[in-house]
Amino acid sequence: MSNIRVVIPCDEANHVCDKTQYKNATLWEKIKLNIHLIYCRACREYTKGNTKLTKLLKKSRVECLDADCKKAMKKDFDKALSEYTE
């Protein structure tokens, strides 16, 4: 039980915050993040900004391109890029 690490550095806290945004963080990661946020103002601000961004994206109803459209755009881009570099 002595190997359990509750205190995490800021870079790990920010990574867990990002994972939480995409619903990929485990319960234990979320617990450690919340403990970290108790004493770290900078990470609280980072988390606050991430939460705000997530809410804005959900509210915006952004529609993504389907895979076929993305492939066609990439093909056109690669063709234009190869013509430009030649």
Q: How confident is the model at residue 2 (pLDDT cuts 50, 70, 90)?
A: low
Residue 5 within a domain: no
Q: Answer whether residue 35 is part of any domain.
A: yes
Could you report the per-residue pLDDT of 46-81, keeping only the tens digit for each? 999 999 988 898 888 878 889 999 999 999 999 999
Domain span including residue 45: 10-85
What pLDDT, in 10s, does the model give residues 7-21?
A: 899 999 999 999 998
In a domain, 74, yes or no: yes
Give the per-residue SS3 of 1-62: CCCCCCCCCHHHHHHHHHHHHCCCCCHHHHHHHHHHHHHCHHHHHHHHHHHHHHHHHHHHCC
Is 2 among the domain residues? no
Per the structure, how many domains does the chain have?
1
Q: Examine residue 3 and state whether it is found in any structural domain, yes or no.
A: no
Distance from C-alpha of 74 to C-alpha of 67, rounded to nearest angstrom: 10
Would 49 be classed as within a structural domain? yes
Within a domain: residue 1? no
Evaluate whether 47 touches 37 at the Cβ level (below 8 Å).
Answer: yes
